[in-house]
Amino acid sequence: MSSTTPVVELENLKVRLGRREILHGITCRLGVSGTGKAVGLLGPNGAGKSTLILTLLGFLRPSAGRARILGFDCARSMGDARSRIGYMPENDAFIGDMTAVAFVRQMAELSGLPPEAALEKAHQVLFHVGLGEARYRELRTYSLGMKQMAKLAQAIVHGPELVVLDEPTNGLDPAARRRMLKLITEMKSEQGMNVLVCSHLLRDIEQVCDEAVIMKEGAIVHHCDLEEERRSNRSFVELEVTGDDGNLRAALPEIGAEGVSEGFGRWRIVLPPGVEVDAIWGLVGRQKLLVRKLTHRRDTLEEIFLKAMGHLAHTPGEASLEVGQL
Amino acid sequence: MIAPAVIFNEVSKFYGEVLGVNRVTLNIPPGITSLVGPNGSGKTTLMNLMTGLIHPDHGHILMRGISPRDPEALMRITGYATQYDTAPRWATGFSFITTGLLLFGYGRAEAEEKAWKALERLSLTDAANRKVAGYSKGMRQRVRLAQAIAHDPELLVLDEPLNGLDPLVRAETIAMFRTWASEGKHVIISSHVLQEVDLISDQVVLIANGMIIAEGTIRTVREEIQEHPSQYLIRCRDASDVASRLFSEDHVSEIRLNDDRMGLLVMTRDREQFARALGRIALDGHRIDGVVPADENVDALYEYLIGGE
Amino acid sequence: MAVYKRGYRRYTGPLTGRWTRFLVLPRYAWRRIYQQRLVLLLTMVAFVWPILCAGFIYLTNHVELLQGLDREFREFIQVDGRFFSIFMYVQAGFAVFLAALAGPGLIAPDLANNALPLYFSRPLTRWSYALARLLVLVGMLSVVTWIPGLILFWLQVGLAGGEWFQANWTLGAGMVAGFLVWLLILSLVAMASSAYVKWRVVAAAVSLAFFFILSGVAEMIDNVLRVRWGHIIDPAWAVNQVWRALLGVTPVEGPGAVASAWALAAMVLLLVVVIERKLRPVEVVS
C-alpha cells in the first residue's frame, strides 16, 4: 500500500437503513494514510455520521457505490482490514465480569497479536491511558471516565494504523477530557496512527484534527484542511482594549483597516493585505489604550461550520450572508 | 421586592457512609448558573436536593422562596432534566410530554398545546409522533429538555443538558437559556465543557469533594484568588528578546518560553503595568502577534482550585 | 545511553494466523467456565457412573467373579446396546445440567454491555464467534459424555477381544454419534437462552425449562388429541429414539427414528436462526 492511499475513499456511496436512505451518494477522499493525521467528522444529528462510520467498519452494506478504508473495500475485504483498525464506539461497550487486563488482552489476541505480546501490550496500554492502578479490577466496577479509557485502550492495543473514535470525550469531566485529547494527539504525532474522530464539540475537533469533514442530511457539505485555514486567517484580528475606545472606530481607517465593536472593549478588525499587526499596536498606543487581548481569529471551525449549515454568518469586511445563500 | 434566589444554608447529605455534600452554603441569583466539578463531587446530589428528590441530613434549602419539602408547590415552578437516558420505551415524543403535563393537572387540550410548543422550541416537531426508542441520542436529550420546559417553569435544573447535542442545536438551546435568564428565571445547569461554561454563564459554582470551592461571577472569583499571578500567552517573533525585556519589569514573576521559541507564558502581578510594558515593547519594533490572558476562564479556575490530574 | 524512555509503543510485529485467532475465544471461555465451582463439582460427580460402569465391565469379563452373583444382576451388566443406552441416559442427564450452568456465562456478558461491536470490528465473523462459543460448550459436555463412553468401549474391547469388537463396533460409533446430536441441541439451547436472557440464573432456568416444557407439551398433545406423534416435539424423547436405533435397542412406541431425526434437524435449524438474530453488531430500529 503506497503512502498516497487515502485513509477513507468514498465513491458515490449510498446506504439505506431499513427503508430510509441515509447517505445519498457521497464521494470524497480523506487523509493520506501512514502520515499520522487526524480527520474530524462533524455534523448535526441525523446527518449520517454514525451510518458512515458503521459502513466504513463493514457493519452496514452500501446499497450503491463504494467505500474504501485504508485501501480495502468495506463491503468485501474487511477481514484483512480489521486487524489494522481500532474502533471506540460512542455507547458503553465492555464485558462486565472481566478485569481490564483480561479484557484488553483478549481483544488484542483477537486482533492478531500473539499471546505473550498481547499480555505485554495490554499492561502497557492500560498504564498509558491512566488505568494502571485499576487494571486488575473488573470493568463493571469502573466509573464512566474509566470505562471510556478502557474503551480507548482496547481500540489501540493492537497498534492499528487507523483508529476510529466516536464521541471520545462524551461524559468526561474536564481533567479526563484534557487527558483524552492529549492521548489522541499523542497517538497521531508520536505513534503515527491515523485518527478519525466524530464529535459534536467543535473545540475538541479544532484542537486535535488536521482535516475536517462536515456532513448534513446524508451528504458532505464541506471538507477543509484546518492547517490551511489557520494559516490563512492572519488578516482577521480580535482585539480587547482597556480605556476609552470611543474614537477607535473612526481611527481605524488611518491604518487602512475596518472593524466592528462588540462592546466591553472588544473589537473585530479586518486588516487589508500588506498591513501588519504592528499597525494596530501603533494605533492603540496613539489612542492611549492598553491591549488586554489580541488574537487572530480562533473560532475558525465554528465559523466554517455555521457557513456550511447555511446559517447567517457575518464577518466584518464581508457582505452579510443571507440564510440559504452560500 | 428582593429578587428570588436559590439558597442553601449549611446543607449536608450523606448516603450512609458515602459523601454527597458537606456543609454547603449557596446564594444563587436568577440567571444562568453553571455547576462545575469532577465526577463524584456532589453535583447530582445538589441537583437532587434542589428538586426535593432527596432531603438533606442537615441544613435547609429555599428555592425561590419555596422549600423542597413542599414538592407540590416546588415542582410547579421547577423543570428538571436528568443526565440519564430515561424516557419510557413505549412513548412517542408527543405522548411522553403530554402525559407529564396531564400529571400536572392541565386539561388534555391545554396539555397537548403546551407539549407541542415545547417540541417546537426544541425543533422536534418532525419526530414528535415517532417512538422515543427510535430517536438518536441527541433527540432523546432534546425530548427530555422539552419535557422539563413544557410547563413554563421559573426554575430549571438541568444535568448536562447539552450532552450529545450537535453544534446547531447547542447554540439554539443556549439562546433559549439566555432568553429565560433575561426574564429573571433561574437556569441551573451542570456541565463539563468549560469553554461553554465560560461563554454562557452569569455565575459559576465550583464544587469538589462535596464542598463548594468557589461561587460567583468568573471575573470576581478570579480576582479573589490573590495568590496566583495573572498569566498571559504571547505570540511573537523574537521570544528571547521580548522575554529579557519583560524580565526587567519588576511586576513579572515568571516567564516560560515555548518550545518553538515563538511564544511566551508570562506571569505578572500587575495587569495594568504589564499591558503598558507590552505596548512599549511592541512600539519599539518587536513584533507581537498575539496576546491572550491565559487564566480568566473557568478552565484555569478549575485548574487552580480543583487541580487537574 | 543508559536512560530508557519506556512508554507505550505501537505493536508492529507479526500477526497470528486464522486458526490461532479462532481459538482465542474458546481458550478464554474454557478458563472462565471451569472457574465456576459448581461446574467443576458437577463434572466430577458426572464421573461416578462411568467409573461404576468400568467396574461392571471388568466384572462381566471375568467369569470367575460372576459365579457368586445373582442371575438378574449378571444379565444386567452384560455389555450390549442396552448397557450403553443406560449409560447414555445417565450422562445425558448430567449434560443437561452442565449446559444450563455453563451456558449463560457465554454470550450474555457480551450482550449485556454492548461488547459485540468491539468483537466484530476485529477480524472475527459472526459465524466464527458463534462457532467458537459452541465449541466450548460441546467440548465441556464431551468430557462427561462420549469421551468416557469411548474409554469404556475400548476397555470392553481390551477385555473381550477382537471378536466382540467385530460384532459390536456399531455400538461405539452409534454412541458417539448419538451423544454428539444431543450435545449439539443442548449447546444451541444454552446459547439461545444466553443470548436472550441477561441474568445467569434465569438463563439457566430457561435452558432447563425448555426441555421440561416441551416434554410436558408433548404429553398434552398425545393425551388431548389422542395421537402418538406428539412426542416428536420433545427433544429428549426424539433423541432417545435415535439412540435406540443406533444402538440396536428396541424402539419405544411412537414415531420412528427417522421421523425423530428430522424433527431434531428442524429444531437445530430453528435454534440457529434464533441465535443469529441476536448476534448483530448493529441493531436497526425501524
**pLDDT exceeds 50 at position A313:** no
Is residue C161 a part of any domain in this protein? Answer: yes
Same domain as B119, residue B266: no
Model pLDDT, residue A316: 39
Percent of chain C's residues with pLDDT above 90: 26
Average pLDDT value for chain A: 84
3 state DSSP class of A219:
strand
Model pLDDT, residue A232: 66
Q: Which residues of B touch C285 (CB under 8 A)?
A: 133-134
**pLDDT exceeds 50 at position C21:** yes
| Domain of residue B263, residue span | 228-305
Interface check C284 vs B, CB under 8 A: no
What is the number of domains present in chain B? Answer: 2
Is residue B223 a part of any domain in this protein? Answer: no
Model pLDDT, residue A320: 33
Interface check B290 vs A, CB under 8 A: yes
Q: Which residues of C touch A165 (CB under 8 A)?
A: none
Interface check C166 vs B, CB under 8 A: no
Find the CATH number of the domain harbouring B301.
3.30.70.100
- A95/C119 Cβ within 8 A: no
For the purposes of burial, counting CB atoms within 10 Å of the CB of C117, is it exposed (0-12), middle (13-18) or buried (19 or more)?
buried
Residue by residue, what is the 3-state secondary structure of chain B? CCCCCEEEEEEEEEECCEEEEEEEEEEECCEEEEEECCCCCCHHHHHHHHCCCCCCCEEEEEECCECCCCHHHHHHHEEEECCCCCCCCCCEHHHHHHHHHHHHCCCHHHHHHHHHHHHHHCCCCCCCCCEHHHCCHHHHHHHHHHHHHCCCCCEEEEECCCCCCCHHHHHHHHHHHHHHHHCCCEEEEECCCHHHHHHHCCEEEEEECCEEEEEECHHHHHHHCCCCCEEEEEEECCHHHHHHHHHCCCCEEEEEECCCCCEEEEEECCHHHHHHHHHHHHHCCCCEEEEEECCCCHHHHHHHHCCCC
Q: Which residues of A touch C124 (CB under 8 A)?
A: 82, 110
Average pLDDT value for chain B: 86
Same domain as B256, residue B166: no
The CATH class that applies to domain A230-296 reads alpha beta
Is residue B222 a part of any domain in this protein? Answer: no
Which of B216, B238, B267 terminates a domain? The answer is B216
Same domain as B94, residue B212: yes
User: Mean pLDDT over residues B164-191, rounded?
Assistant: 88
Find the CATH number of the domain harbouring B111.
3.40.50.300
3 state DSSP class of A269:
strand
Model pLDDT, residue B216: 87
Predicted TM-score (pTM) of this structure: 0.80
CA distance B124 to B144: 11
Nearest CA in chain C to A126: C8
| Domain of residue C89, residue span | 18-278
> Please, what is the end-to-end C-alpha distance for chain C in angstroms?
62
Closest Cα to residue B209, out of B53, B18, B25, B8? B18
Q: Which A positions 274-293 lie with beta carbon below 8 A of chain B?
A: 276-278, 281-282, 284-285, 290-293
Model pLDDT, residue C118: 93
Same domain as B209, residue B274: no
CA distance B4 to B28: 9
Q: Please give the ipTM for the structure prediction.
A: 0.81
Which of B195, B216, B237 terminates a domain? The answer is B216
Is residue C11 a part of any domain in this protein? Answer: no
Give the full edge-to-edge strand order of the sheet including A72-73. A20-32, A6-17, A64-69, A72-73
What is the number of domains present in chain C? Answer: 1
Q: Which residue has the higher pLDDT, B177 or B199?
A: B177
Is residue C8 a part of any domain in this protein? Answer: no
Q: Which residues of A touch C25 (CB under 8 A)?
A: 106, 110
Interface check C10 vs A, CB under 8 A: yes
- Return the domain boundaries, chain A: 6-217, 230-296
Query: Using 50, 70 and 90 to split pLDDT, how confident is the model at A104?
Result: very high
Is residue C3 a part of any domain in this protein? Answer: no
- B133/C286 Cβ within 8 A: no
Same domain as B235, residue B93: no
Average pLDDT value for chain C: 85
- A117/C11 Cβ within 8 A: yes
Integer-rounded Cα Rg, in Å, for chain A is: 23
Among the ranges given (A139-143, B117-121, B168-172), the one the predictor scored with the smallest mean pLDDT: B168-172
For the purposes of burial, counting CB atoms within 10 Å of the CB of A5, is it exposed (0-12), middle (13-18) or buried (19 or more)?
middle
Q: Which C positions 77-116 lie with beta carbon below 8 A of chain A?
A: 105, 109-110, 112-115
3 state DSSP class of A54:
helix
Nearest to A292 among B36, B160, B293 (CB): B293
Residue corresponding to grid cell 472457574: C35
Question: A273: part of which helix (H) or strand (E)?
Answer: none
In angstroms, the Cα distances linking C2 to A190, C6, C7, C8 are 22, 12, 16, 19
Q: What is the pLDDT of residues C165-192, one digit of tens each?
A: 888 888 888 889 999 999 999 999 999 9
User: Mean pLDDT over residues A187-215, rounded?
Assistant: 89
Same domain as B199, residue B63: yes
Model pLDDT, residue A50: 87
Percent of chain A's residues with pLDDT above 70: 90
Interface check B233 vs A, CB under 8 A: no
Considering the domain A6-217 in this protein, what is its CATH number?
A: 3.40.50.300
Model pLDDT, residue A234: 57
Same domain as B237, residue B195: no
- What's the gap in Å between the CA of A73 and the closest CA on chain C? 14
Q: What is the pLDDT of residues C54-74, one digit of tens each?
A: 888 888 887 777 676 677 777
Same domain as B171, residue B78: yes
Is residue B178 a part of any domain in this protein? Answer: yes
User: Mean pLDDT over residues A310-316, rounded?
Assistant: 50
Q: What is the pLDDT of residues C87-96, one digit of tens each?
A: 998 999 999 9
Q: Which residue has the higher pLDDT, B97 or C254?
A: B97
**pLDDT exceeds 50 at position A1:** no
Model pLDDT, residue B189: 94
List the subunits that have 3+ CB pairs under 8 angstroms with B: A, C
Q: Tell me, rounded to whole angstroms, the distance of Cα B104 from its chain centroid.
A: 28
